[in-house]
A and B are shown apart, each in its own frame.
Chain A
């Protein structure tokens, strides 16, 4: 029985990181044809595509770990909102371009540390995915960082919007560094990383960029959690509905 329990934790650990990527990929997809300029439209689509690719690898791996025959499609399309364990941050609506940049920046900085740590995971498949994703995350991070600085140290209007984006999302960042029994079990087995161990480096990196952008570090305490246990903001249900409706209406449809 103990074996089954720890395998479930392994499954959930891989799944929650898959969900982060799947959900943010869906959000980036919403930008297609709505970007502020052609190059950004393409950039956001490409970043979304990277996250989608990472999600697919992780979902496939999660399905194998679960051993119940579920494929990446089954896991993406036939779970309910409460079964998603992504961070509350990634499901937040795109808002204006500055809000999307803020969300990407906070998340990309987190993923840089996460993928680096998971590159030496005792789970060789997870380590392989992490090493690949880490290279991609460097490009995402560079992109979002440049925009934070450009908008923050830009016009009065761009600065106001960039600050507003950071202020609104800041309370959701605590969740990235909060651990639960799944994380703890994975740390014990050398498969996962202790989320709190990523916090210091993240804070320094984020604060350096905020300084350079002449912005203010948000003052509202970061406290909100729940995504990792399936308790989401009201936004995820709508996202999942749009993502899944075709497969829910016509299960197994391929084209």
Chain B
């Protein structure tokens, strides 16, 4: 028999919380670099619950980043799956995204994926080849396969690779 208090507990339980939202957003990745969650990339700026309405703030990596549309719709889908019915995804430009916001885990995953992670803007560590770790590397083009990456080549193992540009 379902008591009133059980029903109430059920109802409370089914009301998704802001923590549920953060968990759901852990599953949203950059469509062009699928090893990075939007949290690791640092573009997920804020998640707030107002009653039943959830506000999500994201910021683009580059002004013209074409992945933003996909990311917005993936966020909406992930949150709908987690039980949120009213979701507003806002794009905020201020403060401007910097690669310093990429998490430690994100940097590690980039490296494992074959993309040289950016150094912090405050330091200027040499870029290392993600294949052989040599720092004898050369820029082929400042503009790689996406706006956020430069194309480089390792002078030691000769492998070309992407470098996530410091911004």
Residues of A within 8 A of B (CB): 39-40, 42-43, 45-47, 49-54, 56-57, 124-125, 127-129, 131-133, 135-136, 139, 142-143
Contacts and interface: CB of A to CB of B under 8 A. Distances in A.
Given A43-B141, A136-B62, A143-B142, A50 B147 contact: yes
B63 A143 contact: no
Given A39-B141, A42-B145, A50-B147, A57 B96 contact: no
Interface residues of B, number: 24
A36 to B, nearest CB: 12
B141 A127 contact: no
Contacts, number: 73
9 contacts: A50-B63, A53-B62, A53-B64, A128-B95, A129-B63, A131-B94, A132-B97, A133-B63, A135-B167
B134 interface: no
Interface of B: 60, 62-66, 92-98, 140-147, 151, 165, 167
Given A39-B141, A40-B141, A127 B94 contact: yes
B93 A128 contact: yes
Contact of A52 (B64, B97, B144, B165): B64
Chain A interface, >50% SS class = helix
A206 B60 CA distance: 31
Leading 6 A-B pairs by shortest Cβ distance: A53-B64, A53-B63, A128-B94, A43-B143, A39-B141, A49-B64
Contacts of B62: 49-50, 53, 136
A129 B93 CA distance: 6
Contacts of B145: 42
Contact of B94 (A47, A124, A142, A143): A124
